[in-house]
A and B are shown apart, each in its own frame.
Chain A
């Protein structure tokens, strides 16, 4: 069974530029999560989807961050414009609906210069 797929794995951009990350969850997993992991810290939830619906986006900085999961499968997280403080690893995870076990992708390491 294929795991959670994320791309790109690495991204370097200048501040004020836009950036987008893509995630494809494990087949059959209806719940998708985006987490932010700063260096030396544990992941923090940005947004949680159940199918197409964003059911928890309370931690998403909506002035510059947006996300979508139009067909209830893959998802895109966007930052526009990026700031220096956005440098971090962006992790995608998925789980079966109402299941506790979350499985993480390898992450996208973003560097904003």
Chain B
């Protein structure tokens, strides 16, 4: 119940395309769902986050879609750029306690 399952493990997208990464969770107590972006040799950086009372949140080219009934959420990167090539982690938390991370998706944007 503590797990967050993320897919795919790796993803290759052409420049200008849409990158989509999916996550699923079991624990209905989770009340915060962030996405982190991590470049090699760097720590994870908070990208965007959503609470379960909304179905979508958009910040620039990044959108989280949230489906509470299915216990799934996804990250969409519009107009993907080579600079977006990184590893992306979904995560979940309850009560502002620890983050439970997915396994990560290595995204490569081909120019």
Cα-based distance from A99 to B93 in the complex (angstroms): 11
Counting contact residues on chain A (CB < 8 A from B), the size range is 20 to 34
Contact with A along B34-54 (1 / 0, CB 8 A): 101000011111100100000
Q: Does A40 count as interface, using CB distance less than 8 angstroms?
A: yes
Q: Does A28 count as interface, using CB distance less than 8 angstroms?
A: no
Tell me whether B98 and A48 are in contact (CB under 8 A): yes
Tell me whether B41 and A33 are in contact (CB under 8 A): no
Residues of B within 8 A of A103 (CB): 46
Residues of A within 8 A of B62 (CB): none
Residues of A within 8 A of B43 (CB): 4, 91, 93, 104-107
Tell me whether A33 and B98 are in contact (CB under 8 A): yes
Q: Which of B44, B97, B101 contacts A44 (CB 8 A)?
A: B101
Tell me whether B99 and A91 are in contact (CB under 8 A): no
Tell me whether A91 and B44 are in contact (CB under 8 A): yes
Cα-based distance from A99 to B46 in the complex (angstroms): 14
Closest 6 A-B residue pairs measured CB to CB?
Answer: A42-B101, A104-B43, A45-B98, A100-B32, A100-B96, A106-B43
A residues with a Cβ closer than 8 A to B are 4, 31, 33, 40-45, 48, 56, 91, 93, 95, 98-107
B residues with a Cβ closer than 8 A to A are 6, 32, 34, 36, 41-46, 49, 89, 91, 93, 96-99, 101-104
